[in-house]
Amino acid sequence: MTIVSPTDLATSFEQQQNQKNGNASTTQPTPMMLYQTGFILYNTEKQLRNANKEKKKQYHTFLQSYRDMITSLSPLYIKNIICNELNVAFCSVVKGNNDVALFPAMKSMCGIYTNSSLLCQIGFDSNVCLAIISFYDDYFIKKKQEDEEMKECLFQTLSCFLLHGLIYAQHSQREEEDDNGLHAVMEVIQTLTIGDSNYCIGDLIQWQTIYKEHHHDDVDTKITTLQKAVKHVFVDPTDQREYLLLMLDSCPNSLTANAILTQSSSSTITTKKKKNQGKKQNKTAKDTARSTLQLRINQIRDVLPDLGEGFVEIALAIYDHDVNRTLTSLMDPNALHPRLRALDPTLPARKKDDEIKEAEEMEARRIQKAHLKEMEGQMEQQSYMLEQTALAFGGGDDEEGGAGAGVDEYNDDYDDQYDGQEQDGGDIGNADGGMYDVDLDAIRAYNKATLEAEREASFWVSDVSDFLLKKSWLCFGTLCS
């Protein structure tokens, strides 16, 4: 890209203005020409901070020629040709995430829009604001870069865009249209502040305050806070205006977020080193979370005091604890969530404390654990009794006492004098029954335990346990027949 000198550009602007006034055919400035102009304006302004009076005079001549040229153009041409192409190109560069192209593009946008409130008003595009916020979040928040010059360039552009392109642009409307203008401003601010980790608008307001303090003697300064601009344009203190101011005041900033993050990290390290203080730290974390929730409830009830705390808490839960979305829905009955329509708007806060609920849950888990342990012991006992009974009646799968071993021992010195008695079970329970002697009381106890276990088998007993119980019933059915 060939860089044109400020003097040549100023001469070109003057020629275009003279031709415009003389009704001669003119060559309209192109978006590329405006891009070059913005880049030169930005760099020249930075260089002239410590320059002599002569150079500053040349710069102001160039700047005035630029503004006159913009004024001479058709608003339709500015919007559809110049601003539209510049804005689309800038958003594409931001999405490409290429710092080599992004930095000069940001500087050019700063030079173009901060030096012409008319361009801000005609070429305002919320997508450009979102692109700037995306750039800020990626470069300064996530990557944690310390580039103060680029940060000031970004804030200057976004500030002029919001002040002159959005808020002050509503000043020219008729008084009866103030509500529509306020609603338009509110919608844009809501879009730009979505997300708890969006710190750009909060940091912008903080920067505006500091910038205004350092440049209070500069009558040509274009920077003020968003809150002051809203109060200046929308004089009547309506509910919508107060809600918009509350929205701007509650925007999070990175300084506060870093302090909270540092405190959270320190708390985590302390927890690892001092495990005995875990309960206290958990309580502190819960208290902090409850305090945050209470703060959000209070913010909403400051605007809508007739609503109950319980109703507001449920509304926050429905809208993901987003104060802006919750307030917007509560203020518009047609947009109210169906769950909220069925509730009493004066619903008070919950009386049940979280600690009591947690204690009840822990007690329930303890009882369940004890019950499972008791059932496990019963199953082990029943399995042992089943094994003993099966062995007593010739069952069992032991390698040494199984079926094969029993045949070998039985064939050794075989005595068949008791064969007739074995068929009717006449020796069962007698002292001479030997290895076949089984305690009938033990069998009855086992049958009773098995019956109790079978009643709960549908929930507590696994498929394997069900198989063992069925096997035991077959065994005792044979015994009793």
Could you write out the three-class secondary structure of 409-470? HHHCCCCCCCHHHHCCCCCCCCHHHHHHCCCHHHHHHHHHHHHHHHHCHHHHCCHHHHHHHH
Section 29-43 average pLDDT: 91
Whole-number pLDDT of residue 431: 45
DSSP code of residue 234: -
Looking at 186, 218, 235, which one is the last position of a domain? 235
Residue 249 lies in a domain: no
Residue 248 lies in a domain: no
Q: 99 with 16, same domain? A: yes
Q: 333 with 381, same domain? A: no
Residue 253 lies in a domain: no
Whole-number pLDDT of residue 278: 55
Section 220-233 average pLDDT: 83
Looking at 299, 316, 341, which one is the last position of a domain? 341
Residue 242 lies in a domain: no
Q: 32 with 149, same domain? A: yes
Confirm whether pTM is higher than 0.85.
no
Q: 309 with 378, same domain? A: no
Domains held by the chain: number: 3
CB 139 within 8 A of CB 203: no
Range of the domain at 231: 6-235
Top pLDDT among 74 and 198 is at 74
Q: 187 with 284, same domain? A: no
Q: 134 with 27, same domain? A: yes
Q: Give me the amino acid identity at 296.
A: R
Residue 438 lies in a domain: yes
Q: 226 with 121, same domain? A: yes
Section 300-329 average pLDDT: 86
Looking at 184, 208, 235, which one is the last position of a domain? 235
Whole-number pLDDT of residue 405: 46
Q: 17 with 155, same domain? A: yes
Q: 204 with 311, same domain? A: no
Helix and strand element counts for the chain (H, E):
24, 0
Whole-number pLDDT of residue 270: 55
Residue 16 lies in a domain: yes
Q: 390 with 289, same domain? A: no
Q: 111 with 184, same domain? A: yes
pLDDT bin (cut points 50, 70, 90) of residue 237 is confident
Residues 6+ apart with CB under 8 A from 95: 131
Whole-number pLDDT of residue 113: 95
Residue 150 lies in a domain: yes
- pLDDT tens per residue across span 98-141: 888 899 999 999 999 999 999 999 999 999 999 999 999 999 98
Q: 330 with 363, same domain? A: no
